[in-house]
Amino acid sequence: MSYLRDRMIQAIVTVYLIVTLTFFMNKSMPGGPMDWLEQDIYQNPDLYGLPPNPQPEEVQEVIEMYINIPPDEPIHVQYYSFMYDFFIHQEMGESIIVAPHADVGDLILTYAPWTVFLSTIAMIYGLVVGVILGSLMAYWEGSRFDVGMTVTMILTGGVPYFIAAIFLLYFFGFQLGWFPTGGRADPRADVGMNLEWVLSVFYYASLPALSFIITGFGGSALGLRANSIRLLGSEYVRSAQLRGLSTYRIATTYLARNAILPIWTGVVIGLGGLIGGSVIMEMIFQYPGMGLLMFEAAIRRDFPVLMGVFAVISILFVIGTLIADFTYPLIDPRADVKESREA
């Protein structure tokens, strides 16, 4: 438990530093949120509900409302106010352009589940495919299947995910028309946990998820193959062979279960990488998730939304690391035994 406690403390400190970084980026970027917003208010006061030639006090109130920082206070007061509102009230200001006057936290909560859903199914399917292929490649080491799959994985792993996304979108979306070219669910389906809507959600996420899977499963498969080869001579593998078990069962049940342990942490942490890569992916497929929200905020200079999404994506990466730490003892009970002995 001491290891997990230490990891939890590290995660809390990391999140605190991430939010602190967000504050100083928000505060000190040249031509950043405060300067740009102040200039825009003076140029277009009617857009912010102010009369022509607004007073400086009125402008300061509007700036504080949008970016959650009182601009006329000393820096330490601004920092305290920002951190207090973020952690205690979960307030990150209001959107300026993307969704005028909408609370940034509520906006992110609307989009974040879709990005997490897309990244999670891509990670799960990619892991399943990688585990099956990697264990079979190890069991048939040196065969045509092993050599062919190794070459294929090296080639697909060298292709950037956004290149695969563009190809899949063009070929299966625009040319063949088998998949939708944008959106996250069928607009004709009734929203809710009914079968039609759920199936449409998976259908619309197919191509974006496939882009991640094609370019990412090779890494876990090759890593699992290398670990499995070291285990081929193990006693429990020979015992399974003597019992006459099928090749598929030996490879996936006996080899894969033990070979996945060294790469498990990297696989779960990779979920954070998928969420970070969702910015370009969701832009290509016009998939309304947190990545597309961040892209639109950057293009339209909606700084409160941009900084809020940046903070949330970074925090999700930290959460992914924690999940890896907490789940490792579940798949490898020896970790608990080792920790108990060290304690």
Residue 334 pLDDT exceeds 60: no
Instruction: Give the tokens for residue 215.
Output: 């370019």
pLDDT-derived band at 33, boundaries 50, 70, 90: low
Nearest to 282 by CA among 172, 124, 120, 119: 119
Instruction: Give the tokens for residue 134.
Output: 């990697």
What is the per-residue pLDDT for 257?
Answer: 66
Helix, strand, coil % (nearest 5) of the chain? 75, 0, 25
Helices (H), 140-287: 144-157, 161-168, 195-204, 206-231, 235-242, 247-249, 256-259, 261-285
For residues 189 and 117, the model is more confident at 117
For residues 170 and 90, the model is more confident at 170
Residue 254 pLDDT exceeds 70: no
Mean predicted lDDT score pLDDT of the chain: 79
- Cα(118)–Cα(317) distance, integer angstroms: 15
- Cα(193)–Cα(198) distance, integer angstroms: 6
Residue 263 pLDDT exceeds 70: no
Place of tokens 């990391």: 14
- C-alpha angle 128-131-136 in degrees, rounded to nearest 5: 130
Residue 256 pLDDT exceeds 70: no
Instruction: Give the tokens for residue 268.
Output: 């779960």
What is the per-residue pLDDT for 343?
Answer: 47
Half-sphere exposure of 29 (CA within 13 A, CB side): 17
H or E segment to which residue 133 belongs: helix 104-139
What is the per-residue pLDDT for 142?
Answer: 81
Q: Are 156 and 214 spatial neighbours (Cβ–Cβ below 8 Å)?
A: yes
What is the per-residue pLDDT for 338?
Answer: 47
| pLDDT, tens digit (0-9, with 9 covering 90-100), for 102-153 | 888 888 888 988 988 888 888 888 888 887 888 788 778 788 888 888 888 8
Cα→Cα distances 181→134, 175, 281, 328, Å: 32, 11, 12, 38
| pLDDT, tens digit (0-9, with 9 covering 90-100), for 272-312 | 667 777 788 888 888 988 888 888 888 877 878 888 888 88
Single-letter amino acid code for the residue at 275: I
Q: Are 228 and 166 spatial neighbours (Cβ–Cβ below 8 Å)?
A: no
**Total Cβ atoms within 10 A of residue 315:** 16
**71 alpha carbon, distance to own chain's centre:** 32
Residue 260 pLDDT exceeds 80: no
| pLDDT, tens digit (0-9, with 9 covering 90-100), for 59-104 | 888 877 777 777 777 888 888 888 888 888 878 888 877 887 788 8
